Structure 1
Amino acid sequence: MRSRTFAGTPVGAVGLGCMGMSWAYTTSERDDDVSIALIREALDLGVTFLDTAQVYGDGHNEALVGRALAGGHRERAVLATKTGLLVDRDAPGGMRRDARPEFVKSSAEESLRRLDTDVIDLYYLHRVDPGVPIAETWGAMADLVAEGKVRHLGLSEVTVAQAEDLHALHPVAAIQSELSLWTRDAMGAPGGSAGAFSGDVSAGEGPGDVVGWCAANGAAFVPFSPLGRGFLTGTVTSADFERTDFRGANPRFQEEALKANLRIVDVVKEVAARHGATPAQVAIAWTLAQGAHVLPIPGTKKPRYLRENAGAAALDLTEADLAQLDGIPAPVGSRY
């Protein structure tokens, strides 16, 4: 696989998001043994940038990744996890934010234990906690770097202003946000879903050009959901989801919105046909085309999709392709 660089270390241009192996989507398909084998196959394919988080399955996903990397595989991976969100079944969405310094430090210890590693390569603040001064959270995370427990720090779903302020205190190595053909908030697109970012963003505003900020400041930009939660693959054609699949309540996946949004997939399929590629590969290649610092992390539980996603690293979209993709219709429905 073609490589890109994260913090001076070569990694596969396409990474792997591990969340869906434990949480959020079709939980009836969860199979830990299959997922462990898939993670190891990913490493063999050159997919070395792995992403997990404390909140994914309430620790299950970190433990799963830790098992997959046991037996000499850990040194083959650049391993990212996150703090600041935890499971709370009484909270909206079943999660709450907690970025208190003491929580950040204790959760890092728990993550190290579950991942069965001595050091976390990239430690993200999963979401800004409006109840805690963000500089205090960042200071606690920087302490973990000084203690040798974490190598690099990252942020998730933040604004340019927040990134700028924190970068002055300790380097921001990566920012993770949703980015795909139907979600471009992090590129400064108007009409973004501000509520997903932080209380510092007024309704109707977005985070600013976070992708551009990362390029200008030597940070990686890590798109999650580059496949639009599966929609951009062209395989989701109805709003029939398992009860535990959060897409069943997602505005873009409601029946009427989903039908309208199939216009987006039609364009992706047209570009894919010209290249003998799949819609998924086109969607991932579009994120890669946004800059050499961009490291998408599509997720999957199935080996055939892992191989398909990895193949996107070899797909070079033309200027005409990119112009056509940039002109796709705006999606119907907010992203959350």
Structure 2
Amino acid sequence: MTSHMGTTDGTAGRTTAADSGTWVLGDLPVRRIGFGAMRLTHLAAGSPSDRDRVTGVLRRAVELGVNHIDTAAFYFSETRSANELINRALAPYADELVITTKVGPGRDPSGEWWWATPEQLRGQVEENLRQLGRDQLDVVNLRVPRQETTGSIAEHFGALAELRTAGLIRHLGVSNVRPDHLAQARAIAPVVCVQNAYGIGSPAAEHALLDACGEQGIAYVPFFAIAGAGKEAGAAAEDDSAVREIALAHGVSPAQLRLAWTLSRGAHVLAIPGTGNPDHLVENVAAGSLRLAPEEVARLGAA
């Protein structure tokens, strides 16, 4: 089987994020292959990232057509801050660049985690504004604690809606949510995206939420789409046999196949793979041009 991916060399015909298609996030057009900033601050072993290397990765992402970057003020290590790396690499920002951030979780200077009250969300929004060097945040997601234990999110989302009205935020989204959370948020203010853990092997309820978002015109933005069972630790050590076989047939890596399958789930699905490795960045962007046959999509969905 021949892969439908474009080339990834330096020629004029190289694959760019534009090959993944476009979705309008509120009123902001974004390429469906974006970039997640979580892995910019440290290596897998926990040691600090190379500052020049990761700022180079950010600039290269933009060169490759990426115009949707996902970040958070709580993405930091002892010596690196993802927001400040983005500011250093990309400011002054291009008009078409969309930076999405999230609030809810917080970390004190020692790295200890805490969860914001509704009254504390404004401080988190202002922290993102300062670090990114912006006067308005394009999209802010309310990240909630564990789905199964979280009650109503209305008070927290209402606080963000007030900040949107005040002009600090352009659009709102929700993250790590159940369908009832999405309904609570939509009753308060427009929701442009849902950001949940999703990929091959996700439970039926999450497939259903993805489909429901498409029906409502809401972007669905999966995290851990590459990692699978590995989640924060990175890609799973063992890929399902279907993943390995179909990846081999297309001449791509399992990680690229996972991204392509995720994007195949709907035009409203946006991917935000993160990496501090320039080679992996090129591979991730190239995955946006891979088109899978319907039977391949179905087989992977059953994996």
Matched, 1:96 2:114: yes
Equivalent positions of 1:51-90 (< 5 A) are 51-57=70-76, 60-70=81-91, 72-87=92-107
- How many Å apart are 1:8 and its aligned residue? 3.4
Instruction: Give TM-score scaled by structure 2 length.
Output: 0.84
Equivalent positions of 1:1-336 (< 5 A) are 1-2=18-19, 3-5=21-23, 6-23=25-42, 25-28=44-47, 30-57=49-76, 60-70=81-91, 72-87=92-107, 94-98=112-116, 100-128=117-145, 134-182=153-201, 184-185=202-203, 187-188=204-205, 209-228=208-227, 247=233, 262=238, 264=240, 266-328=241-303
- How many Å apart are 1:89 and its aligned residue? 9.1
Alignment deviations for residues 289-331 of structure 1 (CA, whole Å, 9 cap, x no partner): 1110000111100111000000011100001211221232xxx
Which deviates more, 57-66 or 306-315?
A: 57-66
Give, as a single letter, the amino acid of the residue that structure 2 aligns with 1:95. W
Aligned CA distance change for structure 1 residues 117 and 215 (closer, same or farther; 3 Å): same
RMSD between aligned residues: 2.7
Aligned CA distance change for structure 1 residues 136 and 226 (closer, same or farther; 3 Å): same
Aligned CA distance change for structure 1 residues 24 and 108 (closer, same or farther; 3 Å): farther
- How many Å apart are 1:286 and its aligned residue? 0.5
In structure 2, what is the Cα distance between the partners aligned to 1:12 and 1:223?
A: 14
Which deviates more, 78-87 or 56-65?
A: 56-65
The percentage of aligned residue pairs carrying the same residue is 32
Alignment deviations for residues 36-61 of structure 1 (CA, whole Å, 9 cap, x no partner): 11111111111111001121116811
Match of 1:324, SS?
A: helix
Give, as a single letter, the amino acid of the residue that structure 2 aligns with 1:179. Y
- How many Å apart are 1:102 and its aligned residue? 2.0
Give, as a single letter, the amino acid of the residue that structure 2 aligns with 1:103. Q
Match of 1:223, SS?
A: coil
In structure 2, what is the Cα distance between the partners aligned to 1:144 and 1:326?
A: 39
Hey, what does 1:239 align to over in structure 2?
Answer: none
Structure 2 gaps of 5+ residues are 1-17
In structure 1, what is the Cα distance between the partners aligned to 2:32 and 2:90?
A: 20
Aligned CA distance change for structure 1 residues 133 and 316 (closer, same or farther; 3 Å): closer
Is the 1:181–1:226 contact (alpha carbons within 8 Å) kept by the matching residues of 2?
A: yes
Is the 2:199–2:228 contact (alpha carbons within 8 Å) kept by the matching residues of 1?
A: no
Which deviates more, 111-120 or 121-130?
A: 121-130
Which deviates more, 284-293 or 211-220?
A: 211-220
Alignment deviations for residues 156-212 of structure 1 (CA, whole Å, 9 cap, x no partner): 110001101210110111110111113x14x516xxxxxxxxxxxxxxxxxx83212
